[in-house]
A = this chain, B = another copy of it.
């Protein structure tokens, strides 16, 4: 954080579109029209379009001094190489940092999107000013990222932070890697929805899956539906178990939780905090905050822009 680069571009590379924005400190100055990935035949054409957008943004903001790109997949951070993007055809072993750097003449940083999310919260969001922060996005799957001792912690293969793959039951439901008890097989959107349908059915109530989404369950719990409240308690037990284990391991200042499930607000945060407290020592609990994320859709742009600016 040398503070020599103040204005940077954040690029949030999603499964269907690429979003760009210009940030200065904690200000998001402008967001550009998203680029639909399907309109471009492979990485070369898409990167050329990114570079064209960057050139245009620099006309308006000539002090732009770095570009941060977050991608939904595994990257080699040191080399800015995208290993593979599962949901974007043709993206395999793409030296994004090198190509985009050559096309723009700017320093480029390539990061995993979950890391960008926690960095946004750490630098400019809910966890601003804290030192050790765990970021979680609880939605379709569960992504995570770690800021430790004030810096992004990436791990030996740049794959750290996978809270969703942690086990909450040594003989539980298998995750995508054969990992028994994988958290995201309990508290992913789809899993919560299916579990809710089952709980209603056990109570003699027939519900379509489409009526059992986290959004529906939050509204129902808010309106006093005891089954829905019970389901949120169960979700809190599962999620809280993984959070408590992570807290025992890292003794962090905060967990920052975003994504669809977090939008249930106090319906999930209240039982979650109770559960986590019940699992920790005073020393670990008294330092700990469990916070809703400040940023949502713009987290990627802000986090990547901040990572890039801080690296210059």
Contact = CB atoms under 8 A, between A and B. Distances in A.
Given A153-B250, A160-B251, A245-B245, 10 more contacts: A146-B249, A148-B153, A149-B153, A162-B249, A162-B284, A167-B241, A169-B169, A169-B170, A170-B238, A177-B281
Contact of A283 (B74, B149, B251): B74
Nearest to A154: B251
A160 B248 CA distance: 6
Contact of A249 (B74, B132, B160, B283): B160
A209 B251 CA distance: 36
A81 to B, nearest CB: 13
Interface string A156-186: 1111111101111111000001111100000
Nearest to A160: B251
A246 interface: yes
A132 B159 contact: no
A56 interface: no
A183 B158 CA distance: 27
Contacts of A149: 148, 151, 153
Interface of A: 74, 131-132, 144, 146, 148-149, 151, 153-163, 165-171, 177-181, 237-238, 241-242, 244-246, 248-253, 278-281, 283-284, 286-287
A133 to B, nearest CB: 10
Contacts of A169: 168-171, 181
Nearest to A166: B245
A118 to B, nearest CB: 13
A279 B179 contact: yes
Nearest to A245: B166
Given A170-B169, A177-B279, A179-B280, A157 B245 contact: no
A179 B244 contact: yes
Contacts of A283: 74, 157, 159
A47 B48 CA distance: 68
Contacts of A280: 177, 179
Contacts of A237: 170-171
28 contacts: A146-B249, A146-B250, A148-B153, A149-B151, A153-B250, A154-B251, A155-B250, A159-B251, A159-B283, A160-B251, A162-B248, A162-B251, A163-B248, A163-B249, A165-B248, A165-B281, A166-B245, A167-B241, A169-B169, A170-B237, A171-B237, A177-B279, A178-B278, A179-B244, A179-B278, A179-B279, A180-B241, A181-B241
B156 A253 contact: yes
Contact of A160 (B171, B238, B250): B250
